[in-house]
Structure 1
Amino acid sequence: MPRHSRALSPAFTRHWTAVAVSNLGDGVTLAAGPLLVATLTTDPLAVSAALFAQQLPWLLFALTGGALADRLPRRTLVVAGNTVRAATIGGLALVIAAGTPALWQLYLVSFLFGTIETVADTAHSALIVDSVPADRLGRANARLYLTAMLNNQLAGPPLGALLFGVAAAVPFGLHATACAVAALIVLRIPVQHRPPPPRTTLRADITDGVRWLWGHAGLRILAACIFIMNLAGVGAFAIWVLYGTQHLGLTTTQYGLFIATGAVGGICGAWTYERLETRFGHTTLLRGGLVVEALTYLALTQTSDPWVAGAIMTVFGVHAVVWGSVAATVRQRATPSELLGRVGSVYQLASVGGSVAGALLGGLVAARFGLLAPFWSAFALVAVMTVVAWRRLADVRPGQTVQQ
């Protein structure tokens, strides 16, 4: 990241370190998990079910996890979540070492892992706000995006595939160790004491979070944007391997390099985020990001040249990190501390809901109307969203009034 005279806090440095360690573990199993499933079955539905099992808890428990993150000590939730994750994935590593696991065991672990994430990840996002001054949240979020890009997408998967080739249990054991180390690091973060929340029901807490986000015009349009962007994007990228191998004519090795272009763009986006935020401001970056996203899908329908497509995805990678960092920053700045967990969980529910719907629809659209149809659909959806959201994105400023 660019050097800056205003350094981030020691507490954030510990957050960042914990995230870096856990992201590496996530990246390792991002490759090792599908490889393990593929050794047990070649049924595409059975393979995809493992990912769905990890996403399903976000649809079921995201709002409950957000309410718990506002009720209970957030550092404790993050430490407990990482500890349980370490035990869960460590148990799977022992099962693999002892013999061949059953598919239902992998689905169960995926579901448990996703359930823990609904609480721990939401609490961690809220905990970041307690560790960084408001005017440096954008820089902190961009740094976290950069770390996730490096460890979760570039370094972790190749390491996971390599370790899986050595012994199937090894990458899962490494992931368990990473979760345990992350828990120990978070334990060293100073506790921010918050006033005890009023005694209410969990349902009332969830309702308050949903109502607050809905009453904030800026965050409401951001949640709508992320739902449509993920519906469109995941729908198109669900058939990404077919676009690369059939439409662009890439070999397996070339396809791997093609995927990396987006990550390279993401690194550039995180590296330049602070300059972009200072020069253009949040509203301009959000509006420009929608335009870039819509044009990305349109451009991908117009080329069959791998070099052009790679350049397009590099630009898209820049946009994805910048837009994500801006959205996280304005949400964190606008939301009262006592509501950070609940508001964040509503936003995450919109994000995951769009992703799940896109994953289900993308293949169906491609099968019915052709390989490029999901990209045309994505262009149309995001273009309409851009028009609808353009003026409303002016309301993302933190001081915007909440209407009850």
Structure 2
Amino acid sequence: MSTPGLLANRGFRRLWLAQAVSLFGDWFTYVAVGTLALSESTGLAGVAAVLVAHTLPRAVLAPFAGRLADRRDRGVILVVGSLLRALVVLLMIAVVGSGDAGTVALAGLVFLRMALSAFTDPAASAALPQLVPAHQLGSANALLGATWSTLFSLGVAAGGFVTAFVGPRGALAIDAATFLLAALLFATLPRLRPGEPIASEASASAIDSPDFLAAWRRTWRDPALLQAALAKMPVALANGGGWFLLHAYAGLQGVGAVAVTLGVMHGVRGLGTGLGPLLWARVERLRGTVPGIHLGTAVTLAGVALFAAFDLPAVLVVASILWGLGMGATWVTSTTRLQLLTPNALLGRLAAIDLMAHTCAQCLGGLLGALVADALLFPAAAGWLGAAGGLLAWGLLVLLVRSRA
């Protein structure tokens, strides 16, 4: 991966910096919101509610977001989306500590904030091939993935300690400031209109219709594109169950230790998420390939299963690293492959299909895990169910792609 060459590209450098700033704020408040969900008034039911609020709006709005990203300047979408998310976070600060009504309002605002990210995520993904040539897309995605995980580790670790000492309001204020700074950086990007010449032009033919269903039909007819668009579903199912289990473990540590425990556990997982893309980028047979996706999926499922099987600290650390390593590798590899296979006119909608598929899978994995864990009074059941669901989805996806070939 040639990082100096990538960062010499002014457009990519600005996109990378803007996303880095925004991500740090996101992960800084990740622990704050999780801590609020594990409060005495909500408990593990609140964890499930937060998971839904973090995932469902992105899935519901993905078709509209993808269509917008294929009709309007993607840079403008990123700027406006960041400003609106800053406003929502400021409103979240106002309702923290307002009792039961504040808890309901907070969940609604988290829902709105994630709904806005449903528009910025496809726009950012679609913008990348317009800024980076095809031969550098794998390296660019690996760098973005490594940045994501590094900031995840730093953000949740810092957020855990800051939330423990200054409370959720301070963490949310930092998050709002990062969204404002990200908007300023996004505003310096060149025009990123769909249909204009791009740095990486895919070989597949584009379609003129802006309809989301037309993009799905195009994807359904192309087995390679279908596999890339749905590749994250198995690991997202496993991640949903594992996410609930991780929060359940943290909730057992006592009210005063919840924030720090969440920060440390998420931070360890984030280290693995950064290692995966870097390792896969060094191996040509894994970089942007189907075998790379399959290996990443297998490592993810093994990590989540190991996390559910043992509650020994040393084993949980190893399991968390494997869990993150596989997820990071799968995310970057499938995203790179999707961008290479997709023409510019479809980039937004294919990114939205990808977003909708994996967010629905994560929501389903978390909710089913929560229901089973509560019914059995056995938190580890959430992790086992997530790993088993991911394995089943992986097998079904392989069969589906082969049947379309």
TM-score by length of 2: 0.82
Q: Name the CA distance, whole Å, in 2 between partners of 1:367 and 1:48.
A: 11
Query: Where do residues 119-268 of structure 1 align in structure 2 (5 Å cutoff)?
Result: 119-159=119-159, 161-162=161-162, 165-166=165-166, 168-195=168-195, 205-242=211-248, 257-268=264-275
Partner secondary structure for residue 232 of structure 1 = helix
Deviation at 1:168, TM superposition (A): 4.7
Question: Is the counterpart of residue 282 in structure 1 residue 260 in structure 2?
Answer: no
The answer to which of 346-355 and 356-365 deviates more is 356-365
Cα distance change on mapping 1:111 and 1:390 into 2, 3 Å:
closer
Q: Deviations over 1:279-327 (max 9, x none)?
A: 7661221222233234334545655543234223323322221111000
Which structure has the larger Rg over C-alpha atoms? 1
Q: Name the CA distance, whole Å, in 1 between partners of 2:135 and 2:208.
A: 32
Cα distance change on mapping 1:154 and 1:103 into 2, 3 Å:
same
Q: Deviations over 1:346-375 (max 9, x none)?
A: 111110111111111012233445554444
Q: Name the CA distance, whole Å, in 1 between partners of 2:214 and 2:147.
A: 33
Q: Name the CA distance, whole Å, in 2 between partners of 1:136 and 1:322.
A: 17
Q: 2:299 is matched with which residue?
A: 292
The answer to which of 295-304 and 63-72 deviates more is 295-304
Q: 1:107 is matched with which residue?
A: 107
Q: Name the CA distance, whole Å, in 1 between partners of 2:95 and 2:304.
A: 43
Cα distance change on mapping 1:219 and 1:195 into 2, 3 Å:
closer
Q: 1:56 is matched with which residue?
A: 56
Q: 1:362 is matched with which residue?
A: 369
Cα distance change on mapping 1:371 and 1:34 into 2, 3 Å:
closer
Deviation at 1:30, TM superposition (A): 1.1
1:306 to 313, 320, 331: 313
The answer to which of 308-317 and 336-345 deviates more is 308-317
Deviation at 1:334, TM superposition (A): 0.7
Q: Name the CA distance, whole Å, in 2 between partners of 1:379 and 1:235.
A: 7
Query: Where do residues 327-346 of structure 1 align in structure 2 (5 Å cutoff)?
Result: 327-346=334-353
Q: Name the CA distance, whole Å, in 2 between partners of 1:57 and 1:79.
A: 20
Cα distance change on mapping 1:199 and 1:374 into 2, 3 Å:
closer
Task: Note the aligned Cα RMSD (angstroms).
Answer: 3.6
Deviation at 1:90, TM superposition (A): 2.4
Partner secondary structure for residue 82 of structure 1 = helix
- Give identity over the alignment, percent: 25
Question: Is the counterpart of residue 271 in structure 1 residue 278 in structure 2?
Answer: yes
Q: 2:199 is matched with which residue?
A: none
Deviation at 1:213, TM superposition (A): 2.0
Cα distance change on mapping 1:235 and 1:163 into 2, 3 Å:
closer
Deviation at 1:139, TM superposition (A): 1.2
Q: Which runs of 5+ in 2 are unaligned?
A: 197-205
Partner secondary structure for residue 276 of structure 2 = helix
